[in-house]
Amino acid sequence: MCGIVGLWNPNDPDPLTRARAMASTIVHRGPDDAGFHATDGLAIGMRRLSIIDLAGGHQPIFNEDGSLAIVFNGEIYNHAEIRASLEARGHRFATRCDTEVIVHAFEEHGADCVHLFNGMFAFAIWDARTRSLFLARDRMGVKPLYWTWDGTRFAFASEMKALVASGVVAKRLDERALWHYLTFGYVPGEAAIWDGIRKLPPAHRLTLTPRGGDPVVERYWDIPGPAPEELTTAQRDEKFAELFEDAVRRRLIADVPVGILLSGGLDSSAVAAVVRKVHDGPVSTFSVAFRDGGVADESGYARLMARAIGADHHEIFIGEEEFSAFLPEFAWFADEPLSDSASIALYHVSQLARQHVKVVLSGEGSDELLGGYAFEETLRYVRQRERLARRSRPLRQLTPSWLASLVLARAPESRLARLLAHEDEVLRLLAPNMTRVMSSREKRRLWPAGPRFEDSMEVVRRVYDRAPAGTTLSRILYAYSQDWLVEDLLMKADKMTMANSIELRVPFLDYRLVEWISRQDDASKLRLDESGAATRKVLLRRYASGRLPPEIVERPKVGFATPTMEWVRTDHNGFRSRALGRPGAWVRDRFSPKVIDEIAHRAGFDRRATAQAWLLIVLENWAQRWL
């Protein structure tokens, strides 16, 4: 694990100095080592967190004749098998590390080498023979990779702050990204908060050649649609157990101690149970809770699971004081505004874990793959709207097609749109997703002088447009896995763990497990009985029965609860007023002070306004740190 940077500018006589400056901003990602390579206007570099082959894994790493150079962030869990195949083809290795496997695989297979890798990765390879640069990001987007191109100069990095330090991009706010943040609480899609910076999406690769033209970005993999096998329940359970346990086993490969982030929920507890089964050595677990207690304190369940597997358990308790004190640094490490309040707790538990281990496993991804949220309610609403659409056929037939299209495009959430939508369009129109903090109308009131951008839900609708054909549930899970999971959960997981120089691994996102689960029928994920009661994450719950304490298997999902919204609601210790009421606050200069005051007032009794106030508090802290 590390942080990578690179710069290609044919007119720059000293790109190495810029690359060093870029790398200096992300030392937290790799405090153990640094390395650089520069030639003819190009410089690549890295900061290393040593996990595998501690002595021999210095980067950049080259192939035998030095024509290929790589910088790599991540882990390739099947590198031993790939190495054996490449050695059989005559490749010679100088180290034991997985980084060298990638460069030889590229030498053998070119851009298609990405199909060989089971892991989390973001890497860049310079090919001196063709004078081309190749970048790739892992299938599910566990590791981030940012890039920028102005027509002459190209740069990439693991974090945006490194690109800002490159001198290639101006520190200029992308107002469209800000517009979308106000709806989602994160910046979705390929955009970034800084104008000119792009995210390389999950399962994409990028090639830049000296022949001119823009970088070529292409998708190399996608989550498949449903294609259920004819299996008995016992066979399906056996296959799930085989894939899940192997995913955990592979993520224990390391030359340093490995631990588990244990929330006490079903997902991380299942990971812990497998670790205990496949790992002979001692197991360390880590959890975080809030001193305020209540639903935000799940420490009792974490202790219960730790005792069940005989783990050496560590926990940390934080309160509003630690939470507020970290907000300015949170803005620095996160790079762009991110309103997921669990981020701060994740930072603190990662800080605790770093005192004992260098690698941790967690349960991210299970909910998005296996239907862990209240999707039964979403499905009921979608079906209700589909019935309305069928009953509205006479009205639709009387309405000119151009008018119906205009209404659906300009006012997709209006009452008229509900009547004019075809039943096949309902899911796309609704575009179920995790967060919708502000509507376009609310944003225009808040930001009356701002540009008029498209409705932010169009970003999510485009994700639904590319979802593979399948059931309503399968398409919803696809959208959640491509948007919310990537841009919120995995982004915060990477940034907060790497802020503490610790590597996070996510077994549920092993691509083999993702493909197999995605092909199973809905009943393997979400099952409704005759009364309408739902059983979520069916496959995982069956796996956990008998392996985990029943108190954990049977407890309802609560997510990672934090008392943040209560602090905002009550303005605890000035938590809300310090950020939003201060004269000269950035948000008051950018947006309508009158509307901000309305939101702050209603936050004391209205849940939606509370969430909006927190969104603005995060934005204010980010602006104070970066602008």
Amino acid making up residue 381: Y
DSSP code of 429? H
**CA-to-CA distance for 425 and 432, rounded, in angstroms?**
13
Question: b/e string for 155-184 if b means 16 or more Cβ within 10 A?
Answer: bbbbbbbbbbbbebbeeeebeebbbbbbbb
H/E/C letters for each residue in 247-309?
HHHHCCCCCCCEEEECCCCHHHHHHHHHHHHHCCCCCEEEEEEECCCHHHCCHHHHHHHHHHH
* Residues in contact with 85: Cβ distance below 8 Å, sequence separation at least 6, in sequence order: none
Give the C-alpha separation, 142 to 121, whole Å. 7
Q: What is the distance, to the nearest Å, from the Cα of residue 116 to the centroid of all Cα atoms in its chain?
A: 22
DSSP symbol at 88: H
Please work out, in degrees rounded to the nearest 5, the angle formed at the alpha carbon of residue 146 by the alpha carbons of 141 and 149: 140
SS3 388: helix
- Can you tell me whether residue 602 is helix, strand or coil? helix
Rounded-to-integer distance, Cα 420 and Cα 342, Å: 40
In terms of phi and psi (left: phi > 0; alpha: psi -120 to 50; beta: otherwise), the region of 213 is left
Query: 422 near 396, Cβ under 8 Å?
Result: yes
CA distance 58 to 48: 8
- Here the tokens at position 183 are 């709806």
Cβ burial 348-380 (10 Å sphere, 16+ → b, else e): bbbbbbbeebbbbbbbbbbbbbbbbbebbebbe
How far apart CA 552 and CA 309 sit, in angstroms, is 13
Q: 414 and 441 in contact (C-beta within 8 Å)?
A: no
2 is known as an active-site residue? yes
DSSP string covering 116-168, please?
G--EEEEEEEEETTTTEEEEEE-TT--S--EEEE-SS-EEEESSHHHHHHHTS
Element (H, E) at 38: strand 33-39
Which listed residue (2, 103, 157, 334) is catalytic?
A: 2
Q: What angle do CA 340, 343, 348 make, to 5 degrees?
A: 160
Burial class (CB in 10 A: 0-12, 13-18, 19+), 30: buried
CA dist 137 and 241 (Å) reads 27
- Tokens matching residue 556: 């309802």
| Catalytic residue list | 2
